[in-house]
Amino acid sequence: MFKVGDKILYPVHGAGIIEAIEEKEITGDKQLYYIINILHKGMKVMIPMEKTTHHGIRNVVEADVMEDVLTTFQLEDDDSSINHIQRHRVNINKLKSGDIYEAAEVIRELVRISKKKNLGTEDRNTLNNAQQIFLSEMVLVKEIEQDEAVTLLNDAINH
């Protein structure tokens, strides 16, 4: 269970802060909801407390985990044996998992492909989305500004 002020990651939208816990009646059903401010998108979302596990919501990672993830951008894992449709499905599932290491794999793989050839629209959108979600978590974990997070990510990718 989360509390007000917790920094969380909502895999679909990115990192945010729980601003409130409110009881709402929707379709005649009263439930407690987390009100989450997704900072990088400037939006608030309401998630029923009992659905957080289903949506993959978790606390943001610790700073040492973020540092470890940044080192994984140098690993080799190019699996060019799957086609772009299979790759897209695999990548979306990795992002939905909420696992920061899997998000890093998606970014790493798509950046490597983009250095060899132009990415298709789906892959380009997936890469942009994965990077925004990753950056939103880095900003909260490291307590830095967005532009500094972008620099750190680019350095990790291009090191």
Q: Evaluate if residue 145 carries a pLDDT over 80.
A: yes
Q: Over the stretch 11-62, which tens digit does the pLDDT of each residue have?
A: 989 999 999 999 998 888 899 999 999 998 999 999 999 999 999 999 999 9
CA atoms within 13 A on the CB side of 128: 7
Q: Which residue has the higher pLDDT, 83 or 139?
A: 139
Q: Over the stretch 56-79, which tens digit does the pLDDT of each residue have?
A: 999 999 999 999 999 998 877 655
What is the pLDDT, as a whole number, of residue 27? 86
Return the CATH fold of 7-59: Thrombin, subunit H (2.40.10)
Whole-angstrom CA distances from 123 to 29, 80, 87, 107 are 40, 14, 9, 10
Query: Could you tell me what percent of the chain has a pLDDT over 90?
Result: 80
Architecture of domain 63-158: Up-down Bundle (1.20)
What is the pLDDT, as a whole number, of residue 144? 96
* Residue range 144-149: mean pLDDT, rounded: 96
- Which residues make up the CATH 1.20.58.1290 domain(s) of the chain? 63-158
* Residue range 107-127: mean pLDDT, rounded: 93
Q: Which residues of 125-149 are buried (b: 16+ CB within 10 A; e: fewer)?
A: ebbebbbbbbbbbbbbbeeeeeeeb
| pTM (predicted TM-score) | 0.91
Q: Evaluate if residue 152 carries a pLDDT over 70.
A: yes
What is the pLDDT, as a whole number, of residue 158? 87
- Which residues make up the CATH 2.40.10.170 domain(s) of the chain? 7-59
What is the pLDDT, as a whole number, of residue 18? 97
Q: Over the stretch 77-96, which tens digit does the pLDDT of each residue have?
A: 655 667 888 989 999 999 99
- Of 86, 124, 125, 79, nearest in space to 105 by CA: 79
